[in-house]
Structure 1
Amino acid sequence: MASSFLRVSLLFISLYTADGFMEYILVRCDFNSSDLNDIEFIYSVYYNKMEYARFSSSLGKYVGYNEIGVKQAAVWNSDPSILTGMRAQKGTYCKPTIDYYYQAVLPKSAEPYVRLSSTEPSGGKHPAMLVCSVYDFYPKQIRVKWTRDGQEVTSDVTSTDELADGDWYYQIHSYLEYTPRSGEKISCMVEHASLKAPLITDWDPSMPESERNKIAI
């Protein structure tokens, strides 16, 4: 997978009281690769949603963010055994977890499926607009383009960003404003790491919407 900012987080609820006050710890590993030099271990301590102290492997010590946090960080930093244990977490906790993700999760891919539909353009200079909606693909990187009679269309095309579904999958929507011509062939072409060849879906204005969706899938 191309280098990118990734994160593995683990939340520990350590203390709460009946009147709603809560202290909790958030442990996370930020990484661009499985190399130790590209990993940062961060241990944050919160009280009522406010982070008041943090250990970062890039600093190798605790830092406080308010009066109580500064005092507590000084106590932790004065104990060599605590600092030794925290400094080791990048290798003992983050590295095995990240290695697992690179082996079992990140190299995987999911093929997209496509739906073509038409909609009324709002204030555009053309009388028609097509929408190419691409769903449930992973990883995020994807290319969606339009062709007219086999030639790529570059004008009057807009697109959303890749939108995260929150379940590792993504979706994207591309829009083409155009003036229909008799006998033309308009297609949406999708290129993605999960596909051995580009996925091409042809627009057929005479076909019912339900049938177009079946062919696109």
Structure 2
Amino acid sequence: MASSFISVSLLFIGLHTAGGFMGFMTDRCDFNSTDLKDIEFIRSYYYNKLEFTRFSSSVGKYVGFTEYGVKNAEYWNSDPSKLAAMNAQKETVCEHNIKIDYDNVLTKSAEPYVFLSSVTPPGGKHSSMLVCSVFDFFPKNIVVRWTRDGHPETAGVTSTDELADGDWYYQTHSHLEYTPRSGEKISCVVEHISLSKPLVTDWDPSMPESERNKIAIGASGLILGLTLSLAGFIYYKRKARGRILVPSN
């Protein structure tokens, strides 16, 4: 799986306010691997959310974006020792922290779990719609596809983006609109870096989910009714044993 371009903010310093104005500075490392050549150290200076000066290790010097920023860049670039110290940040700050990120987070993965369900399709164009919901996977990149009798099924397929749960995990949902055929086998296939082989979940069309729910509710009601009837019968028998029959004249 191709590595993605990642930006990590390592520092947030120099924040101050005065008379309603705000200036701050950020350090960040942009990278797509742990190799030093794939890492860029960037220090940015802002005033009221406007970046006015930036140092980039890829450029090797300061660059100004406003009149004030250009003057700052010229002054700082005139100091060789300052430039040497800034260029060293790529190795001393970025490389060290990026290796920690890869060891503890970026090389870890979490296997997804799949829930397959049927819903009523909107508009009535198709008689059925299946939803393949994939939860709790990491990292983000994932492939969700459909097969019908072992062959790829692409018609009537719509999918959401990978949605962040806010706890490092992701979820995604794929919808398949189709017209059922007797004896067919429809499957949702998930491919992810955490899986040694594709995760295949087959749809069982023997009974719609709504019908299964109705049967479950009916069975629960029947069991409850029989339990109450049995309890009433036992109560009646106990009361009958306790009564004394008085013969009438």
The TM-score, its normalising length taken from structure 1, stands at: 0.86
The letter of the residue matching 2:72 is Q
Conserved in 2, the CA contact under 8 Å of 1:146 and 1:188?
Answer: yes
> Is 1:139 aligned with 2:139?
yes
The change in CA–CA distance for 1:18 and 1:70 in structure 2 (over 3 A counts) is: closer
Structure with more contact order per residue of length (Cα contacts < 8 Å, sep ≥ 6): 1
Q: How does 1:182-193 map to 2 (within 5 A)?
A: 182-193=182-193
Counterpart position of 1:155: 155
Which region of structure 1 is more displaced relative to structure 2, 168-177 or 114-123? 114-123
- Residue 180 of structure 2 aligns to a residue in which SS? coil
Q: How far is 1:107 from its partner?
A: 1.4
What is the distance in 2 between the residues matched to 1:144 and 1:77?
A: 51
Q: How does 1:76-155 map to 2 (within 5 A)?
A: 76-123=76-123, 125-155=125-155
Conserved in 2, the CA contact under 8 Å of 1:124 and 1:177?
Answer: no
The letter of the residue matching 1:153 is E
Which region of structure 1 is more displaced relative to structure 2, 13-22 or 31-40? 13-22
Counterpart position of 1:23: 23
Q: How far is 1:144 from its partner?
A: 1.1
> Is 1:69 aligned with 2:69?
yes
Counterpart position of 1:215: none
Counterpart position of 1:202: 202
Larger helix percent:
2
- Residue 33 of structure 1 aligns to a residue in which SS? coil
Q: How far is 1:138 from its partner?
A: 1.3
- Residue 122 of structure 2 aligns to a residue in which SS? coil
Larger strand percent:
1
What is the distance in 2 between the residues matched to 1:120 and 1:94?
A: 51
What is the distance in 2 between the residues matched to 1:118 and 1:143?
A: 20
Counterpart position of 1:40: 40
- Residue 59 of structure 1 aligns to a residue in which SS? coil
Conserved in 1, the CA contact under 8 Å of 2:15 and 2:25?
Answer: no
| Higher-Rg member (1/2) | 2
Conserved in 2, the CA contact under 8 Å of 1:13 and 1:23?
Answer: no
Q: How far is 1:61 from its partner?
A: 0.7
The TM-score, its normalising length taken from structure 2, stands at: 0.76
The letter of the residue matching 2:192 is H
The change in CA–CA distance for 1:24 and 1:151 in structure 2 (over 3 A counts) is: same
Q: How far is 1:46 from its partner?
A: 0.9
Q: How far is 1:11 from its partner?
A: 3.9
What is the distance in 2 between the residues matched to 1:188 and 1:207?
A: 17
Task: Return 5+ residue gaps in structure 2 as ranges.
Answer: 214-249
Q: Deviations over 1:103-153 (max 9, x none)?
A: 222211011122223333334742221111112211222221112333332
The letter of the residue matching 1:176 is L
What is the distance in 2 between the residues matched to 1:201 and 1:119?
A: 17
Q: Percent identity?
A: 68
Q: How far is 1:186 from its partner?
A: 2.2
Task: Return 5+ residue gaps in structure 1 as ranges.
Answer: 213-217
Conserved in 1, the CA contact under 8 Å of 2:118 and 2:208?
Answer: no
Q: RMSD of the alignment, in Å?
A: 2.4
The change in CA–CA distance for 1:45 and 1:18 in structure 2 (over 3 A counts) is: closer
